[in-house]
Amino acid sequence: MDGGRIVNLPGAIGGATMPVLASDAAILGIETSCDETAAAVVAGGQQVLSSVVSSQVDLHARYGGVVPEVAGRAHTERLVPVMSQALVESALEDSDIAAVAATAGPGLVGALLVGVSAAKALALVWDVPFVAVNHLEAHLHAAFLDEPSLELPVVVILVSGGHTMLVLMEDRLRYRVLGATLDDAAGEAFDKVARYMGLGYPGGPVIDRLSGQGDPDAIAFPRAMLHDGWNFSFAGLKTAVINHLRRHPDATTEDVAASFQEAVADVLVAKARRAAASHNARGLCLAGGVAANSRLREMTLDACTADGLAGYLPSRAMCTDNAAMVAAAAWWRLQADGPSPLTVGADPSLGLPET
Ligand code: KG4
Ligand code: ZN
């Protein structure tokens, strides 16, 4: 691949010189913020040349959740093979890689450090820029990899195991967090409810599957803060499900799952569509692991049809943690801000940079 490199490299690694990024510059992205070890090569911030994800879900399932120490150790074992595979599948030479990016936060610190250290080492060896990427910003860029013609502004429902946010995305690097969860993240609520019901980890996919055979109107679970601002609260809903199961031990699992899922999706979509109307957004977009939820996807599309909005529902591979979204976000960040200094560390509580 020609022209994929950065020109004017001297000083670029230290952040001194703003690089001129070729439009087809290939970036190696690395993602190790939680329990997925991932690497990908993306050209021009858009064309996914390879994307490899090694999920640790089986390692953590026996503990009912992600164990940080186990995650860090597994990243250390898996990252090099995963990166090698991503490079081989991209069909590029090492010398075609214009920059190396890694998620620097938010996430588990011991897990983040593995990816950040590997990315810095490769950037040094290859003499290319290192880019520290915000994991939440990466999730915001994921939909563009499936939908290059996505029209902004959109309201993004960013829902994962660790985060639940409503974001007004006005431009690739310009967005505003309208609201966020005040307690549990949506994915966390799915996982905790599933654990209580003995359904295993992660809970989201199981609840999603069981809900297909249940009645979503069987139990009227609460919709907290439905008409109240842009923030969310899911802790009360989780408690309501647990209380219901204690009072009705013979309740049908499928009905409980479907009614719980309906309550989560209801609140997320109701607020997002109201936010789209108030901010003149052109569409609604899903991001994060919970965006794989079939009822949330269905409700989002129904809302878009009813309100004349575009609905952007990324593929499951782009919803859950992956490194293609990291490489894509890095391409935009590198153009805007230049390389990250090699002194940047991992920041487990990094927030979404608002402009
Ligand atoms: O974005 P992600 O892969 O990792 C984090 O950054 O957290 O999201 C993982 C979360 C887990 O809580 C999992 O239960 C949830 O996404 N999830 C789902 C579904 N698939 C994954 N939740 C609801 N329905 C699904 N189909
Ligand atoms: Zn994530």
- 93-110: average pLDDT: 97
For position 9, what pLDDT does the model report?
33
> Mean pLDDT over all residues of the chain?
93
pLDDT reading at 152 higher than 80: yes
Probe residue for ligand 1, chosen from 54, 108, 160, 207 as the CB with the greatest number of ligand atoms within 8 Å: 160
In the structure encoding, which two tokens stand for residue 84, read together?
Answer: 């090698």
7-141+320-337: CATH superfamily: ATPase, nucleotide binding domain (3.30.420.40)
Examine the pLDDT at 315 and tell me if it is beyond 60: yes
Distance (angstroms) between ligand 1 centre and the Cα of 339 equals 31
Task: Calculate mean pLDDT across residues 244-255.
Answer: 96
Q: Domain spans of the chain?
A: 7-141+320-337, 149-313
Yes or no: say if 329 and 46 are a contact pair by the CB < 8 Å rule.
Answer: no
- Residue 13's pLDDT is 43
What integer pLDDT is reported at residue 16 of this predicted model? 43
| Within this chain, domains 7-141+320-337 and 149-313 share the same CATH topology | yes
Residue bearing the bigger pLDDT, 201 or 126: 126
pTM metric for this prediction: 0.92
Q: Which ligand is nearest to the CA of 103?
A: 2
Judge whether residue 220 has pLDDT over 50: yes
Q: Say what the pLDDT of residue 12 is.
A: 40
The CATH number of the domain covering residues in 149-313: 3.30.420.40
In percent, the amount of the chain with pLDDT more than 90 equals 86
Expressed in angstroms and rounded, the spacing between residue 162 Cα and the centre of ligand 1 is 9
User: Measuring from atom 14 of ligand 1, which residue has the nearest CA?
Assistant: 204
Q: Which residues line ligand 1 (CB under 6 A)?
A: 34, 160-162, 187, 190-191, 202-205, 208, 288-290, 292-293, 320-321
CA–centroid distance, residue 300 to ligand 1 (Å): 17
